[in-house]
Structure 1
């Protein structure tokens, strides 16, 4: 299938042919064979190389930036705002809305961006609703906005982790720290924290392009051999041992489903320790900043007190004359 993608910042303001002109099952097989196969039972349940920074946007109260491998996400939490009376309904909890947007340079699949944004926004909202204490802002709406800067797999789980840090940074009451991770299985190999290419391969397999054919020894008829292939995203609250959201696609047996969930929960615990360390460092940094501001304010108050004391002792006219200095650039006559 020929794909045409839009090219920006080029001399010819038109379209160019994409690098991958055709997508066939053989292409998927070749890509899978080129991968470094992990162990069927992974032992190192560790997250990717992770970088998290809270308070990156100074114009808002709550923000966070996260790099999970090559996946880069920015989250911003707006202050709660009152619902419009015409649209407000009698509810015993506030309203939480999450919006996901892709940067113009984040992906080349421009046609599928609106649909992906709507899907990710819906799933992110469902994952964050059990975390926020919505009973504390009745008839108010809380908006969380996520900007995708780069997508290299584990997009939803990275967005959940980043939003959790941004919510704590903004001072919104939460029940617990939320962490999320992704795992998948393809041809009996378990991939933890899969890349975007691996997720795309799973999606093609799900649509039927990756299924293989085999023969039945009993009736010698050609049938499709169904292999386990699927992806699972788990968001958890470790303090209460509660799962906030579990998203699954593909074909997984119950035993494999539970195995992948255990893997993701173990990765979530590692991410939780990292998030706790980031938030602790942020609180310490904010405390040192407050102490510095108090010290500067105390010095300013002391300076003003000295000025007022001199004004009382000398009088207004003498104080003004003592503070007048001659301009060295003006010639004396």
Structure 2
């Protein structure tokens, strides 16, 4: 006999909707029928914008737009641990903090719990990426501010933090890229929106497992279990390693492998985009450094000319030669 037990899974708590759109399985089905479904499966990331070094007050920062999901990541330089806690670790400590902007979510009551869970999952995803053996007895803090939530929060945060870490100069083993895929009623959603994630969250208690229901026992036995679930995958392609792979819901092994292949393909596209963004950032920084060096050289030449004139003319003559009469007081 199949028993369905409702368990709490915080992986799907990354989405939020301002109003309760549905509360019963019937409402869920009506909502599922009303949402826009992709006509063909396009294994590609959303329209993406990434900018490294958006803040001048910190060394490592990045801003990312993944569709309508917008967030900013800030990496602070490593700081020494307190002596009492430093003796208990043999590697650097990585802490990630996630915060929602006041206008980013409509459910203010659940924000502290969601921020805590997203921060914990983000820390687990970035720990295999950072070379923590290079800053022993030091702590590295990463802060993420979510400005707009339209799904794929965790995967977008992983991508944004990966760019900010490189911008800060923190040693990493590879570039990291992450993406999200889900399935519901045999419909695959790549880069699901917040509403699709909320639909899965409503069904995680088991109401969506039964594909059909009837009053007769025969129909109950014939009821099939339909797949539903969400997969978040963060990968480092150079080592062919998964930094994090989280799944929840009910997925068959072949479906799990299929969604995993989709996310890996999306991650490759995101990796190339991140690599191009960081390359352009290095070129931009090189141009700024050369411009600053030229300005310093011109300033040094001007000061050298002034010092040479001062040595030739003497102090008093040099001062008198540089005094100019005010044209307004000449009268």
Alignment of 1:19-58 (within 5 A): 20=20, 23-38=23-38, 42=41, 44-58=42-56
Q: Give, in whole Å, the separation in 2 of the partners of 1:257 and 1:54.
A: 34
Aligned partner of 2:166 in structure 1 is: 168
Alignment of 1:145-184 (within 5 A): 145-184=143-182
Q: Give, in whole Å, the separation in 2 of the partners of 1:309 and 1:106.
A: 61
Residue range with higher mean Cα deviation, 22-31 or 44-53: 22-31
Aligned partner of 1:137 in structure 2 is: 135
Answering whether residue 260 of structure 2 is matched by residue 255 of structure 1, we say: no
By how many angstroms is 1:211 displaced? 4.5
Q: How many residues align?
A: 312
CA deviations on 1:84-122 (whole Å, 9 max, x unpaired) are 002222432110001111111110011111111111011
Aligned partner of 1:270 in structure 2 is: 269
- Decide whether aligned partners of structure 1 residues 21 and 235 sit closer, same or farther in structure 2, where only a CA change above 3 A counts: closer
Unpaired stretches in structure 1, ≥5 consecutive residues: 1-17
CA deviations on 1:220-251 (whole Å, 9 max, x unpaired) are 25355421000000000000000000011100
By how many angstroms is 1:327 displaced? 1.5
The two structures, once aligned, show a CA RMSD in angstroms of 1.8
By how many angstroms is 1:19 displaced? 5.3
TM-score by length of 1: 0.90
Answering whether residue 85 of structure 2 is matched by residue 87 of structure 1, we say: yes
CA deviations on 1:256-285 (whole Å, 9 max, x unpaired) are 111100000000000000000000000000
Answering whether residue 238 of structure 2 is matched by residue 239 of structure 1, we say: yes
Q: Contact 1:25 / 1:210 at 8 angstroms: preserved in 2?
A: yes
Q: Which has the higher helix share?
A: 2
TM-score by length of 2: 0.90
Q: Contact 2:129 / 2:243 at 8 angstroms: preserved in 1?
A: yes
Q: Contact 1:39 / 1:190 at 8 angstroms: preserved in 2?
A: no
Q: Give, in whole Å, the separation in 1 of the partners of 2:293 and 2:330.
A: 44
CA deviations on 1:36-67 (whole Å, 9 max, x unpaired) are 33358x3x311000000000011000000000
Q: Contact 1:161 / 1:180 at 8 angstroms: preserved in 2?
A: yes
Q: Give, in whole Å, the separation in 1 of the partners of 2:197 and 2:328.
A: 73
Q: Contact 2:80 / 2:138 at 8 angstroms: preserved in 1?
A: yes
Q: Contact 1:132 / 1:174 at 8 angstroms: preserved in 2?
A: yes
Alignment of 1:202-213 (within 5 A): 202-212=200-210, 213=212
CA deviations on 1:297-327 (whole Å, 9 max, x unpaired) are 0000000011111111111111000000112
Aligned partner of 2:57 in structure 1 is: 59
- Decide whether aligned partners of structure 1 residues 22 and 278 sit closer, same or farther in structure 2, where only a CA change above 3 A counts: closer
By how many angstroms is 1:22 displaced? 5.5
- Decide whether aligned partners of structure 1 residues 261 and 77 sit closer, same or farther in structure 2, where only a CA change above 3 A counts: same
By how many angstroms is 1:216 displaced? 10
